[in-house]
Chains A and B, each alone.
Chain A
Amino acid sequence: MRHTRLVPAAAVLAVLTLSVTACSTKSGTGSNAAGSDGLKTGPGVTDTTITLGALTDLTGPYASLGKSIVNAQQLYADQLNASGGVCGRKVRITVKDHGYDVQKAVSAFTETEPNVAALSQVIGSPVVSSLQQEIEAKHLLTFPMAWASSLLGHEHVQVVGSTYDIDMINGVDFVVRTAKLKPGAKIGHVYFEGEYGENALAGAKYAAKQHRLSIVEQKIKPTDQDLTAQVTALKQAGVKAILLSAGPKQTAALVGTAAAQGFAVPVLSNAPGFAPQLLATPVGPALEKQLHVVSAAPSFSSDTPATQQLAKDYKAKYPKDPLDSGVISGWNAINVLGEDLKAACKAKDLTREGITAAHRKQSKLTILGVSLDFSDRAKPATYQSFIQKPAKQAAGGLLTVEPAHEVPAARAYPLPKS
């Protein structure tokens, strides 16, 4: 029986030798180096490529949004590479699908993080929340596909466009103007529990105070698809308009139910509450009549040449996929990142720190007709929002009602601290 005692001893020896000899295999990654051309490079940047990461949802609840964003960003990367890339390097995007599962997302981050220069998209509020500390610790410039103002104030996390609360402030102003609401009037706000809905609610409450309106709150969950109870409650309360910060399904349910009950008040939704697919459903006509959308991004029917060009290129490359807000959001984010990379290249510093530094110097970047300022990380990149209206024949299902504009009250709004 002696041999059995030898086994562990032999194993110890083997392991020790192996571990000593293997020291070099796991040496520190991510060290910055300077090339012969004086260009400093960091993780994700080689002599031929710049690798970006995308943590997206292609199999979970936001699969369609994820697909549009991935497509749009790939389109941008292709165009950029066709025109020579950045610093003579091709831009490549590593896409990781987490299916809206926090654990998978965290492990996808750990896997991709050492090999990317920046993250061109991260989908999912819980995902962004769980990764925030790591992103800051690794100095990885990241573009979350969420627009809550709790994401502001981080050096390396960048929301592109106005936030939900700012959109709501601009939106309430529009509703007050067009529906001629008087002080003392009631408006309803149906919102998702969670970051998105509650951030929008904060904006709506602020705006209501400015206009001396009162808000009737109705909180719902993403799984709710029957809002009859909520509509009945709002009708009973006598609201003159309804604000909505939910998903497309809830928008259809709310507007459909309200229309069916002859409750013809204007409804204003945040951008995530609309999808062009809704216009083909039985409630399509009611949406065209009652709904407006307040959005940080232009619609495809807007006459900005850049937007028209994007719509054309996208349809050429992905003829089967719909033009939706995901395309614009994805394009916006990677476009900003592309400009950052170019600026960082000019400054001869393609390290992560260099990319973020270049990003924070962008104070007058115009993308798809919107002027963005990233110099103050605590403030939204813009205070402007578009007001749009569903229309079946319009590209992307939305017509621009009011171009990007901001109301003075928005600048005075105290952004919530995260």
Chain B
Amino acid sequence: MSDTLSPDASPATTAATPPDGSGGASGRRSGTASRAGTAAAGVLLLLALPFYVSSFWLQTGLFAMAAIVGAIGLNLLSGTTGQLSLGHAFFLAVGAYGYVWLAGDPSGTGSAQLYGLGLPPLLAFVLAILLAGAAGGLFSPISGRLRGMYLGIATLALVFLGHHIMLNARDITGGFNGRSVPALEIFGFSFSDTSPDGLAVLGVPFGGLERLWYFGLVLVAVAWLAARNLLRGRPGRALAAVRDSEVAAAVMGVPLSRYRASAFIVSSMYAGAAGALLALVFKRVVPDHFGLLLSIDYLAMIVIGGLGSVGGAAAGAVFVALMPHLLTKYADHLPLLSAPGTTGSGVTPGDAARYLYGAAIVLVLVFAPGGLAGLAQKRPRRTGDGTRRNRRFPFRTRTTSDSNPQGVEGTTPKEHTP
């Protein structure tokens, strides 16, 4: 599933592939087909889930979907371009509040007055994404100039400034109490518990979460495909070149600052989409959610998933988004814990969930330093210079050869049988 770019390997690959693609191409096709079969089964499973699982799982799944979209975006920035950002939460907030402001109707009077444009929700959703992109663009004088940790901490400032604005721009954000989120509506079909009321599909009642589930799936699919195409095309190669060596990229004719700025804008748009989806799930946006911890979570997602790969980012997002929820849900069943309200002063289930979460992060990184994407590729072969050189470059990916179209790795044995 990995879409890791392999800038070092690709020129060699192009040279080695027979121009007419007779042998390699058909082998690739069979591999792709079986992969497509698995993917299709996975997609069908996802499509069927709302018929079986409870709203808790749907909601948690939707949180994970929002995280996937956001993480793919951050991965484009940090994983592919090598720009570290701790400001992702800010752009999520822009998307979330942007949607609420664009789609919401003006309400209240006096100090409780709230502005809203009352646009059709789907349009508002799209505009919110663009708004987040614009916010990213406004930051480009900084994002274009700073590198590494400097950029990281400078973007951290965005989180704090954003929080300040969310609390103070009351007529748009609703202040500390937040603001309720208008339901998404497409051509009169509302993604909420009402209108149409009591909708049931195959006898299963379809409320807001069930309906949003499908919207989330579509959003994830679009985000995923867009990122893949971006990475596989010319911009992806250019961005990877920027990450590997700015000088070399500039020499080869990549307009550096433009690419850096656009990576930031695209990543902000992904964050905006994630934020708007999150808002729809929450049904109410409050400032406290979009804090530093959220930013750090996103950073953890892309690193745990494996930098530079779309699939990895998604895996990391699912891991980080689901883990605390699952641990909290099942922590009550762990042995040797004292339940809340009992006399024991031992470890409570909540504490246990935190310990396990911390331990899980450490263990994943110790056993899969390349992230979950690295695990999925069996033992990734390291290009000779990988380890040592990478140490000196924070936030760049190790190059793996999985996306090598020829499959010289031998991961698919049938490769050359027509």
Contact = CB atoms under 8 A, between A and B. Distances in A.
Decide if A and B touch, CB cutoff 8 A: yes
Interface stretch (A18-26, A262-270, A278-286, A400-408): A18-26
Contacts of B54: 26, 111, 114
B416 interface: no
B178 A126 contact: yes
Interface stretch (B246-254, B338-346, B363-371, B401-409): B338-346
A150 interface: yes
Contacts of A4: 30, 33-34, 36-37
B254 to A, nearest CB: 39
Contact of A129 (B37, B281, B286): B286
Contact of B45 (A15, A114, A417): A15
B352 to A, nearest CB: 10
B284 interface: yes
Interface residues of A, number: 62
Nearest to B325: A107
Interface in B272-319: 281-289, 293
Interface stretch (B5-13, B17-25, B56-64, B386-394): B56-64
A129 B341 contact: no
A67 B349 CA distance: 13
B195 interface: no
Contacts of A363: none
Interface stretch (A91-99, A210-218, A248-256, A338-346): A91-99
Given A107-B63, A126-B289, A95 B329 contact: no
Nearest to B33: A4
B330 to A, nearest CB: 11
Contacts of A193: 167, 176
Interface string B341-360: 11101001111011000000
Contacts of B380: none
Interface string B26-68: 0000100110111011001101100111111001100100000
B204 interface: yes
A233 B348 CA distance: 43
Given A23-B203, A97-B328, A67 B176 contact: no
A73 interface: yes
A108 B87 CA distance: 27
A126 B176 contact: yes
Contacts of B52: 19, 22, 25-26
A30 to B, nearest CB: 11
Interface in A97-134: 97-99, 101-104, 106-108, 110-111, 114, 125-126, 129-134
B177 interface: yes
Interface in A15-68: 15, 18-20, 22-28, 56, 58-59, 67
A111 B63 CA distance: 14
A317 interface: yes
Interface stretch (A5-13, A153-161, A378-386): A5-13
Contacts of B289: 102-103, 126, 130
B180 interface: yes
A376 interface: no
Contacts of A70: 340-341
A59 B59 contact: no
B178 A129 contact: yes
Nearest to B110: A417
Interface string A125-165: 11001111110010000000000001000000000000000
B345 A129 contact: no
Contact of A1 (B33, B284, B325): B33
A58 B283 CA distance: 25
B63 A195 contact: no
Contacts of A126: 176, 178, 286-289
A134 B207 CA distance: 13
B348 A97 contact: yes
B120 interface: no
B202 interface: yes
30 contacts: A4-B30, A4-B36, A4-B37, A11-B41, A11-B44, A11-B45, A15-B45, A22-B51, A27-B204, A28-B205, A58-B348, A59-B350, A59-B353, A59-B354, A74-B341, A95-B340, A96-B328, A97-B349, A101-B293, A106-B282, A107-B59, A126-B289, A130-B286, A133-B283, A137-B193, A193-B176, A194-B176, A195-B177, A198-B176, A416-B111
Given A58-B351, A125-B177, A130-B282, 19 more contacts: A7-B38, A12-B44, A19-B48, A19-B202, A20-B202, A23-B204, A25-B52, A26-B52, A101-B293, A102-B286, A103-B282, A104-B324, A106-B59, A107-B56, A111-B329, A131-B284, A133-B180, A133-B284, A418-B112
Across the A-B interface, the 6 shortest Cβ-Cβ residue pairs? A74-B341, A97-B350, A23-B203, A7-B37, A8-B40, A111-B56
Interface of A: 1, 4-5, 7-8, 11-12, 15, 18-20, 22-28, 56, 58-59, 67, 70-71, 73-74, 93, 95-99, 101-104, 106-108, 110-111, 114, 125-126, 129-134, 137, 150, 193-195, 198, 317-318, 320, 416-418
